[in-house]
Structure 1
Amino acid sequence: MRVATFRGGRTIVVPAGRELLSDPVRLTVRAAADLLVTVFVPDDCGPATEHRTALQTSYVARDGAGHAADEDDTAYTAKAVSRWYYVTGVDVRATTRGSVVALGDSLTDGTGSTPDTNHRWPDLLADRLRRHRLGVLNAGIGGNRLLRDGTGPSALARLDTDALDRAGVRFLVLFEGVNDINGTPAATDPDAYAAAYRTIVARAHARGVRVVGVTLTPYRGHPAYSAAREGVRQRVNAFIREGGVFDAVADADAALRDPADAGRLSPRYDPGDHLHFDDDGMAAVASAVGEALGRWR
């Protein structure tokens, strides 16, 4: 559990795994703007919750005082690590048609893209969908898996909290599974992936949410690659494309693979680790997902 203390001394206890919602704030935020959120913790309250791969620079005021009311940034003199602490998300009241949730791992979290540029593929998808009045929520966690808890709860376990319970969600984009193939122990049964995908889609449909499945991208050249694992990836992708479970399919595999080697990322999209995507690769995924969503825009 976590203890939260508010200005004025009011203290509440937040059970583990539950979120604490703030009071509404009257603040005009323009579309695509960066929103600065300040957090003040007056006392040691134990380990901080964090988003490890924020890919965004945060700054710290080291004087031990709260600066939430400051109208300038002069107190924030120290550059912090590229992580977000405590804040899970922000709900914005707007005249939109709803939200698209991107549920995935580091490929969705943005690893490989240029920090401080908002070049994760969900950011770029948001740019494409803005004129259609659809927001995009990034629910990517680096290291996350589809079937098994690891870096965070599995996609199956966190589906409601991170996706279906989000405000205004209308569409779910599911891009998850490569860490199951590469993990310890590796998940080698394609039928397990198929069952998980069916479960997620059924739960989403019960909430009136349509689901886009994204094929798993190639990674030959990465240390985790093996011919056996590549065989699992190909069979999982065949199910995503042909299983008839998803409402639409975004074929990121076809969009990003090397034309000369279907098991490898195209060099134009490879930041060097042969698994993640550079900015151009992120744009290619955003384009594939945007096309899959096109029938409903």
Structure 2
Amino acid sequence: MAATTTAQVTPVTTEHPATAPEEAHQRRWVASWAASPTAGCTIPESKCPAGDGLGDQTVRNPVFLSVGGTEVRIRLSNAFGSEAVQVGAASVALRASGANTVAESMRRLTFDGRPGATIPPGADVCSDPAPLTTEALTELLVSVHVVDTAGPVTNHPFTAQTNYLSQGDRALSVSGTGYAVIWCWMLLSGVDVLAPPHVRGTVVTLGDSITDTGMSSGDANRRWPDHLARRLNATGEPALSVANAGLSGNRLLQPREGRHQHGIAARARLERDVLAQPGVRTVIVLEGVNDIGYGASAADLIAGYREIAGRCHAAGLRVLGGTVLPFKGSALWDGRRRRIWEEVNAWLRAGDGFDGVIDFAAATAAEDDPLRLAPAYDCGDHLHPNDAGTRAIAEAVDLSLLTPPAERAREHRRA
């Protein structure tokens, strides 16, 4: 794997020291949407061409914004590419329906003032800001034309989202005509907005498939981080944007050998997928069931949680630990794994090392058996939550935990 760099990506707020405090505060970039990248590969029964590469094709990616703003920029990733990606053109627009854009919202994007960019292997690039007023909980279409053959393509393979691909350069096409359906986000790893004053930063949700998509309905934005964004926007309080750093099949400690679609381990991707997110303030960790299912010990998992929490604290972030959801009856369950799950969750509930604990397990467990997902929340495999389950996970988050008590007190005094 090529070493990841972050060329042109700024993981801190874009503020100007020479301006007055209030004016500087208004120049706050936050991650309104994110998807953790993985290496392109061929996945059986998937309409994702990332393993084959791209050449003179345009990717059109729909994204669900957690907060709105007055300007927008995109982040493109070639983190796992073996050759440079030649971007000929890129655009962002409000989504009308399918691959169709709202015509008057179409914005051509530039990179250091140029219409395209070369993304070296192992690198990310960020577009220049484009003026576009967006609202929270709305969808954008981000289009990227790849000039030369580039493959395999860095992508996010499991999306619960219909995405689009066309031949030729259709980045600035208002119409979705000519776009075919694909099942992955390719190249795009983040969309940032210049946020209004009440948005104080970003909360990043680090997890596996339960955070990535669960078994939520496609094209409905019902992942639990989406529901968390809805809750935050409904409060009327100083808000946080939400960046989803979930990856289906991901593990906290080790990668899945030969399964590139599940990404590198959470502790190995922490710097890129969490710490480098613009405006990041708080991290919620919900990982561990795949580690338990594939042989990790409780001691190893606890050491992994401590490492994640320590690195987040060293970066000045608030970090919350989430208990592992019950999974009795699933293909991963047996007596040994039950004991590890119980030991891990007991340690998590004790709160050692984290700034707070969210008891996702208790919030989703069956009333008559805390080892099982509640039937109303179970997609049927006894492991992944359905739409009601992802909502229950989001509702289990105590929003007051997302900001430090001293900061909440300051905000109440200002109000």
Q: TM-score, length-normalised on structure 1?
A: 0.92
2:193 maps to: 92
Q: CA deviation at 1:243?
A: 4.2
1:79 maps to: 181
User: Hey, what's the Cα distance between the residues in 1 that align with 2:190 and 2:116?
Assistant: 23
Residue 41 (structure 1) aligned with residue 146 (structure 2): yes
Question: Secondary structure of the residue that 2:308 maps to in structure 1?
Answer: helix
Q: CA deviation at 1:159?
A: 0.9
Q: CA deviation at 1:53?
A: 1.0
Instruction: Look up the equivalent residue of 2:317 and give its one-letter code.
Output: V
Q: Which moved more, 1:37-46 or 1:90-99?
A: 37-46
1:271 maps to: 379
Residue 187 (structure 1) aligned with residue 289 (structure 2): no
Residue 171 (structure 1) aligned with residue 277 (structure 2): no
User: Hey, what's the Cα distance between the residues in 2 that align with 1:114 and 1:207?
Assistant: 35
Work out the percentage of aligned pairs sharing the same amino acid: 43
Q: Which moved more, 1:28-37 or 1:41-50?
A: 41-50
Instruction: Look up the equivalent residue of 1:75 and give its one-letter code.
Output: G
1:239-265 residue CA offsets vs partner (Å, 9 max, x unmatched): 101142111111011011111112111
Deviating 4+ runs (over 4 angstroms): 8-11, 294-297
User: Hey, what's the Cα distance between the residues in 2 that align with 1:106 and 1:222?
Assistant: 15
Alpha-carbon contact 2:366-2:373 (below 8 Å) kept: yes
Q: CA deviation at 1:273?
A: 0.6
1:138 maps to: 244
Residue 31 (structure 1) aligned with residue 136 (structure 2): yes
1:259 maps to: 367
1:149-181 residue CA offsets vs partner (Å, 9 max, x unmatched): 222111111111100111000100000011000
Q: CA deviation at 1:40?
A: 1.6
1:293 maps to: 401
Alpha-carbon contact 2:87-2:146 (below 8 Å) kept: no
Alpha-carbon contact 2:323-2:349 (below 8 Å) kept: yes
User: Hey, what's the Cα distance between the residues in 1 that align with 2:207 and 2:366?
Assistant: 23
Question: Secondary structure of the residue that 2:349 maps to in structure 1?
Answer: helix
**Aligned ranges for residues 2-21 of structure 1 at < 5 Å?**
2-7=83-88, 12-16=118-122, 18-21=123-126
Q: CA deviation at 1:120?
A: 0.3
Residue 57 (structure 1) aligned with residue 162 (structure 2): yes
Counting matched residue pairs gives: 289
User: Hey, what's the Cα distance between the residues in 2 that align with 1:202 and 1:236?
Assistant: 18
User: Hey, what's the Cα distance between the residues in 1 that align with 2:188 and 2:401?
Assistant: 29
Q: Relative contact order, CA 8 A, sep 6+: which one is greater?
A: 2
Structure 2 gaps, min length 5: 1-81, 89-113, 257-261, 409-415
Structure richer in strand, relative to its length: 2
Q: TM-score, length-normalised on structure 2?
A: 0.66
**Aligned ranges for residues 177-256 of structure 1 at < 5 Å?**
177-183=288-294, 186-188=295-297, 190-256=298-364
Question: Secondary structure of the residue that 2:205 maps to in structure 1?
Answer: strand
Structure 1 gaps, min length 5: none
Q: CA 1:292 to 1:217, structure 2 compared with 1: closer, same or farther past 3 Å? A: farther
Aligned partner of 2:205 among 54, 79, 102: 102
Structure richer in helix, relative to its length: 1
**C-alpha RMSD of matched pairs (Å):** 1.8
User: Hey, what's the Cα distance between the residues in 2 that align with 1:166 and 1:49?
Assistant: 18
Q: CA deviation at 1:225?
A: 0.7
1:99-136 residue CA offsets vs partner (Å, 9 max, x unmatched): 00000000000121111110000000011112332100
Q: CA deviation at 1:83?
A: 1.2
Q: CA 1:9 to 1:285, structure 2 compared with 1: closer, same or farther past 3 Å? A: closer
